[in-house]
Amino acid sequence: MGLRSRRTLAAELPKKVGEFVELFGWVQNVRVTARFVFVVIRDRSGVAQVTVRRTGSHGLEDVAKALRREDVVRVKGLVVRSKIAKLGYEVLPEEIEVLNRSKHPLPLDTSGHVDMELNVCLDSRAICLRRPEYQAVFKIASTALRAMRDFFTSNGYLEVITSRIIACASEGGADLFEVNYFDRKVFLAQSPQLYKEMLAGAFEKVFEIGLFYRAEKSRTTYHLAEFVSVDIEEAFASMDDVMDTLEGLIKHVVKTVGEENWRELETLEHTLPQVEYRFPRLTYTEALEMLRKEGYGLEWGDDFGAEEMRTLGRLMSGKFYFIVDWPLASKPFYTMPSPENPRVARAFDLNYEWLELASGGERIYKPEVFLEGLRRAGLNPEDFRPFIHVLEHGMPPHAGFGLGFSRLMMVLTGMKNIRQVTLFPRDVDRVTP
Ligand code: AMO
């Protein structure tokens, strides 16, 4: 018989009163009193209390007393209701088997009772992930990913996977990782940009959820060298269409996490943001005016730095909001200029308070306009031949966006550092574990 079919999970104990069960899990805590040894066992469903009566004879009592935190055990015993056990149920064991001993001292506290420095956690990431708050974070992440896939699929988008190995920059020349590839140099993709555009010219509506790479030298709480991007591209769609899609996506994810992860949100002591309003759509010029009123000496065309974003975040407290109609010069080479004003881009960002979550817009789809975009960015048209080839053979108007998944996760969990919501973060300082 397989282990799985013999196993009872901690959360299933209420249904098993009066039965003998086998628990498999980790020792979370051992407490020895005059009359009992109390062992708390943790598995993926929660915790269970195992109570050993101290009879003076050895055997089980000695095994229980010798257990240490994070030992992996199998416990066979009778499930009983208990008035004193906090959980309401306990297991009276007849067998305790240690499947694997954990070395001590532990690199960190796995119970979640002791505050911990982020680097201590990340140095032993997989062990740190046993803490309740990280269990909660990644359960929410899993719900969010599923909710996004459901949303896209039910709205007619096809899931695609593009290449991470590219011959030329997809977002302009900065921040590229170079890789040895047989006898030449290639790059790690910064985004699926030109690929998702080409695919929109074949499938009309595509989405991709994947890892992308940027050689970000700055050490911030919201940049990584490797990050998960959620991308869509859609043919015959405008900027407003894809903004509506993005707004709908965020609302669907927040609603789903709220319905399915209330326990995890309780563990994190976090309240999800409100989403029952139309996300404001400020123009860049309006945002600039708001910042000027706050005393910033900004000119039209200036980008907003970290400090400006913090101020905007204060003014837009508790809100998701778009900033639209950016100066064309601040956006990548593939961005569509506005037909009314060529200095303005048909492009947007989505922010939550101070944090940029996504950007997107309409793209250039005519070869001669694309060449102009490359010229403006100082890029070599020869490098973009395969893409121009597609533009030359029936590329429809199209629009899309890229959403930073871990940044959205910061909003969904209340975590302040992107490294906390990334399983194995990669940055200037860290490539292990
Ligand atoms: P952009 O460069 O704005 O746009 O990136 C889109 C979103 O991806 C996230 N992001 C990052 N997250 C963590 N670490 C990083 N180093 C990092 N860089 C970006 C952000 C950002 O808003 N191709 C366009 C999108 C499009 O127009 O479709 C793009 O990549 O949340």
Tell me the pLDDT tens digit for each residue of 54-74: 987 778 999 999 999 999 999
Q: Does residue 133 share a domain with residue 96?
A: no
The alpha carbon of 403 and the centre of ligand 1 are apart by a number of angstroms equal to 6
Q: Does residue 137 share a domain with residue 74?
A: no
Q: Does residue 202 share a domain with residue 161?
A: yes
Is 216's C-beta closer than 6 angstroms to any atom of ligand 1? Answer: yes
Is 137's C-beta closer than 6 angstroms to any atom of ligand 1? Answer: no
Q: Does residue 156 share a domain with residue 93?
A: no
Closest C-alpha to ligand 1, atom 15: 223
Any domain includes 180: yes
What is residue 318's DSSP assignment? T
Q: Domain containing 15 — which CATH number? A: 2.40.50.140
Q: Does residue 48 share a domain with residue 173?
A: no
Tell me how far apart the alpha carbons of residues 418 and 398 are, in angstroms, rounded to a whole number: 31
Q: Does residue 150 share a domain with residue 76?
A: no
* Cβ within 8 Å of residue 350, ≥6 positions away: 243, 246, 250, 279, 320, 321, 322, 356, 357, 358, 359, 401, 403
Any domain includes 431: no
Q: Domain containing 347 — which CATH number? A: 3.30.930.10
The alpha carbon of 203 and the centre of ligand 1 are apart by a number of angstroms equal to 23
The residue range of the domain holding 403 is 126-421
Burial bucket for residue 250 (CB in 10 Å: 0-12, 13-18, 19+): buried
Is 409's C-beta closer than 6 angstroms to any atom of ligand 1? Answer: no
The secondary element (H helix, E strand) that includes residue 292 is helix 284-293
Closest C-alpha to ligand 1, atom 18: 223
pTM of the model: 0.96
CA dist 196 → 125, 210, 249, 285 (Å): 33, 12, 18, 30
Tell me how far apart the alpha carbons of residues 286 and 323 are, in angstroms, rounded to a whole number: 9
Tell me how far apart the alpha carbons of residues 260 and 183 are, in angstroms, rounded to a whole number: 50
100, 118, 137 - which closes a domain: 100
The alpha carbon of 333 and the centre of ligand 1 are apart by a number of angstroms equal to 15
Query: Six-digit token pair at 272?
Result: 């999800």
Res 111: pLDDT? 86
85, 100, 115 - which closes a domain: 100
Q: Does residue 159 share a domain with residue 260?
A: yes
Q: Does residue 287 share a domain with residue 417?
A: yes
The alpha carbon of 214 and the centre of ligand 1 are apart by a number of angstroms equal to 10
Is 404's C-beta closer than 6 angstroms to any atom of ligand 1? Answer: yes
Q: How many domains does the chain have?
A: 2
Ligand 1 atom closest to the Cα of residue 229 is 8
227-269 confidence digits (pLDDT tens): 999 999 999 999 999 999 999 999 999 999 999 999 999 999 9
Ligand 1 atom closest to the Cα of residue 196 is 28
Ligand 1 atom closest to the Cα of residue 347 is 27
Any domain includes 334: yes
CA dist 88 → 8, 29, 49, 71 (Å): 17, 17, 9, 24
Res 56: pLDDT? 75
Is 229's C-beta closer than 6 angstroms to any atom of ligand 1? Answer: yes
The alpha carbon of 402 and the centre of ligand 1 are apart by a number of angstroms equal to 6
Any domain includes 61: yes
Ligand 1 atom closest to the Cα of residue 403 is 7
Q: Does residue 393 share a domain with residue 322?
A: yes
Q: Does residue 273 share a domain with residue 229?
A: yes
The alpha carbon of 123 and the centre of ligand 1 are apart by a number of angstroms equal to 26
Any domain includes 432: no
Q: Does residue 297 share a domain with residue 216?
A: yes
346 close to 335: Cβ distance less than 8 angstroms: yes
Is 224's C-beta closer than 6 angstroms to any atom of ligand 1? Answer: yes
Any domain includes 250: yes
55, 82, 100 - which closes a domain: 100
Any domain includes 91: yes
Any domain includes 426: no
Residue stretches of the chain with pLDDT short of 50:
none
